[in-house]
Amino acid sequence: MLKFTEGIDPWYWCTPEGSEMFSLLVGFEESFNEKLQWLEEAENLTLIFEKNRKEREQKSAQDKA
């Protein structure tokens, strides 16, 4: 468990304000390299989603033809 979560109601992190605060606090504890790794993984996931969307659109167009 993360140190900064001690003494705080767990449901707080499920609210919009709590999730924003959690993201900020986790960001403060991460190193620069961890943040870069997270960004690279997010970019890879975005590229995979885009590729899958294009493939699905192409398949749909072929099925209609």
- Note whether 15 and 42 are within 8 A (CB): no
What is residue 30's three-state secondary structure?
Answer: coil
Chain position carrying tokens 């620069």:
32
Has this prediction a pTM greater than 0.75? no
pLDDT tens per residue across span 22-63? 888 888 888 999 989 989 999 999 999 999 999 999 999 898
What stretches of the chain show up as alpha helix (H) in DSSP?
A: 16-29, 32-64
- Note whether 5 and 23 are within 8 A (CB): no
- Sequence-separated (6 or more) residues with CB below 8 Å from residue 4: 25, 29
Chain position carrying tokens 């690279």:
40
| Domain map (residue ranges) of the chain | 31-65
